[in-house]
Structure 1
Amino acid sequence: MRNPRFKLYKLLLINLGLYVLFFVFSVLVSSQLHRAGTVAFYLRKNYVIITALSILFHTFFLYYSMNRLYILLVLRKRFWHFLAVLGLMGLAYTAYLVISDLMSHGFDEAVKQKLTPKVIILSYVISFVLFSAITFFVTYIVYLLDEKKQRAVLEKQKTELEIEKAHANLNFLKAQINPHFLHNTLNYLYAKSIPYSAELSEGILTLSEIMRYSLTDNLPKDGKALLKDEIEHVRNVIRINQLRFSNNLKVDLEVKGVINGARIIPFVLITIVENAFKHGDIKSNEHPVKFTLEVIDGRLHFYSRNKKKTGPKEISTGIGLDNIKKRLELAYGNNFVLDIQDEQDFYTTRLSIYQL
């Protein structure tokens, strides 16, 4: 079993401890009743062998049954799954009791006369019911305690996320600029710059579009934006960076598939793009920065690869990527994969969202 909840060595130590306690208790009771020969009885070769086999059997029996029952409880399996496990437990325990009785009593005629088939069967049933009930009870208690602990961890994580969200909202409010004022001002500057420089006016218009998208607050309740708008935002960021560097950047953006009305949580793609601009060699002719976005059957795949800068590098805090990972977890649960590969000369990011 991979990562069993109940460890084999711990169960072995518990069994050994119980047998030692039983031995000490029996000796103490016998001494109180003035019965001699108790220690000698327990130290007989045949009894020691049976005891050792019993400890080993119960250890492995508990290891399998408790871990199996625990898995069924975690997965919330149906009743018949538990019956199947109990059936296997019953067969194994019956076989153990038969072998144990044969080793203890052999074919002694006096014992055979006392232990009728009904008595033997009844003793087996009672032994199995009691032992399996205790096994299930202990397993169930451990499962409940683990579930309670897990809920506490999830609640703590939820609280931390809510606190982070509150801080983010507060910081946003502190830095917020009236989007209409900013948009109108940039449009004014754009109109005034047209007679003087086509490149300058294009830059102002592109910046206006970037700020308009960044400051928008009319998203639906689920907080998702149209994928086509997110792609256009990425194009605008690439365009304005090209203007900054006199169109000398080596950047390729390829979009494949049918976008239609697909939606995505905003600023995820642009964070990956900005990360490539920040840490990548964006002027390499041999290794241009490569972005590929593909939508297939409602699934999104985004690929980013860039050659690392040579010389002094900016210190990466990883905050941006950590932030989008948390946002992806909140929005998509387990329906996404964010794979980041930090190689010697290249930096590669792959994002797959399996259900937009």
Structure 2
Amino acid sequence: MPEIRRHTREFMLLLGGWLVLAYSSNMLTMPRFTPESLRWLHINSSFLGLLNFLLFYGCYRWIAVPLLEKQRRPLLPGILLLVLPVFTFLKYGLIKLFFAQDLLFRGYRIENHQRVDIYISPAEFLVTGLWNSAIIVIAAFSFRLFLLWLQEEKKRATLQQQQLQAESGFLKMQLNSHFLINSLNSIYSLALMGSPEVVRANKTLTQLLAYMVDQPSDIAYQAPVAEEIRYLQDFVSLQRLRTGFDEGVIFSMPDTLPDKTIAPLLLVPFVENAFKHGVSNRPGKPVTISLACNEQQLLFSVHNYVSGQQRDKTGGIGLDNVRKRLQLLYPGRHALTIRDTGAEYFSNLVINW
């Protein structure tokens, strides 16, 4: 039943549009409105319009789809050579039966002092009728091809969206796992030192993990900038607890943030990288984090001094994934600059809303 209703609604919408188009085009050729011209308008638009629409809809619904398949395309010429003449002669018969005087009458001649009416012959009607029918068939096939193209584009867009979402989710998962390993290492270090801050660090980590888990998997989801910054502040607090040195981090940001959104968990890898491979326990070599944000763009920069310790094998995962996520989520709307001098490391990100 839903399929029947859908086809019925489609038929009525197409018929209505067809009749509107038929009346509009015929009215453009009318020099003036008289009873005779209005009768001609209604016959050409409604009667012939309905016949032509049935040819259009029949080709669109039942002929175009199977014949557009590759294995059936060779049948197309034969089907059209059968359909076009049959329809043209059928239309001629109906016109001759009901509206011969209106549509087939060409004039008259005098034979033996008598008037003889002249009508368009079947052969003459066939010449023009085949051409008109061919145009209708071409329109039906073109319309069907256009709808098929729209369907394919919709499928392609859906698949692309699913692929982007899957890829973004995979990259986010890698970032989350990388972050979790580093955070657990930090708490483990506090526990080894017997620090009373383990409980506080564990609570902060719980808040961070809750924020990460609450993020929807939808690639289009954007978190409020204020929430993302609070997440960064919690992350910095966890690192300060690990080092026990508050002056090792300088975090500058505006007092008020615009009502904007950003892809979640996008900024933390820069900070994580600075703590992991930088120096954060020396007064003269702090990790510097700077955030500026307005209605047009976000500017985020992180600077750290490079530690003399050897970097671990997973050091490049975070920033590599950030690059990929930025390409997926902000194509043409971001600029990322990373500079490593050997002694210092600079990361600068610009996102245009």
Q: TM-score range by the shorter chain?
A: 0.3 to 0.5
TM normalised by structure 1 equals 0.44
Between the two structures, name the one with larger relative contact order (CA 8 Å, sep ≥ 6).
2
- Find the structure with the greater CA-based Rg: 2
TM normalised by structure 2 equals 0.44
